[in-house]
Amino acid sequence: MFVPVAGGDLAVEIHDGDTPPALAIHGVSGSRKLWNWVAAHHFSLIAPDLRGRGDSFEVPGASIRQHADDMVRVLDALDLATVTVCGMSMGAYVAVDLAVRHPDRVRTLVLVDGGFPMPAHAQMTEELLSAAFAPQLAARERTWTVDEYLGVQAVVNPLIDATDPLIHEYFAHDLTADGHLRLSADTLIADATDVVFGTSRWQELTVPTWFVHAEWSTGPDSPPAYTVEQAQEFRTVLPVLREPVLINEVDHGGTVMTRAGAAVTAEVLAEALK
């Protein structure tokens, strides 16, 4: 379905399952197809393509606050007063903003490797940020077949299973029919800047919150976005935070884009939906 928001129409995919509905918000360079692995566990999910990505590619604008306001429009369009919200990476920051500014719309919250301050962000500069997203920006300058694009992504994301049909579907969704990447450069950089240099309002959360984090960041043995110790520190500050859940032997993307990671994330989401 398409939901009117400021500047255009937001694409939203509805997964019918056996649970109450949960709003699932993808990361900075992802799309709604990120949630296919979790949906496979028979969840009812509301999965938007955020503006500047996928089928919402032509909707201009960016910022954590803007995306959160869009999510309110999505809930209104579906006549949902309150739902569990699950956000991954940047989507977790959007989920936090939504829950802080609209606590009446968020029943419970699941944050997947995001939403809290990442220690690595403290070392980031605008130049380093631009360099970090240079490959995605360069990918926009050429056309791709799905297999070519998947081959490159399998190198960048060594833990994904390139033979998984859901992986194929995920990366195919990034491309137009003629092989161009459906990712707005302006939106990507603006959103990444907001995540890295903005201020998460996580300490203002009042709804029950679960936190799932990965053992690695980008591939085996890489430093994690959050250590176990850091996750526990968040819990000492935030009374509504449940015991953090570490997913072993997955990286940032693998929390939802691998069968093993998605199984753990799904288990936590199921607990939040109770």
- Tell me, what's the pLDDT at 156? 85
Bridge partners, 12 (sequence order): 48
Structure tokens at 99: 């829950």
Residues constituting the chain: 274
Backbone angles phi, psi at 226, to 5 degrees: -140, 130
Q: Who's near 171: CB < 8 A, 6+ residues apart?
A: 146, 149, 150, 153
- Tell me, what's the pLDDT at 266? 98
The conformational region for residue 241 under phi > 0 = left, psi -120 to 50 = alpha, else beta, is beta
DSSP 8-state assignment for residue 9? E
| Domains, the chain | 2-273 (3.40.50.1820)
* Residue pLDDT tens, the chain, 274 long: 999 999 999 999 999 999 999 999 999 999 999 999 999 999 999 999 999 999 999 999 989 999 999 999 999 999 999 999 999 999 999 999 999 999 999 999 999 999 999 988 888 898 888 888 888 888 999 999 999 999 999 988 889 999 999 999 999 999 999 999 999 999 999 999 999 999 889 999 999 999 999 999 999 999 999 999 999 999 999 999 999 999 999 999 999 999 999 999 999 999 999 9
- Give the closest residue to 170 by CA, choosing from 266, 39, 68, 75: 39
Q: Residue 142: count other Cβ atoms within 10 Å of its Cβ.
A: 11
The helix (run of H) or strand (run of E) holding residue 76 is helix 64-77
Reduced to 3 states (helix: H, G, I; strand: E, B; else coil), residue 265 is helix
- Tell me, what's the pLDDT at 90? 97
- Tell me, what's the pLDDT at 136? 85
- Give the closest residue to 50 by CA, choosing from 37, 38, 62: 62
Alpha helices, DSSP H only, in 121-203?
126-132, 134-139, 146-156, 165-172, 185-197
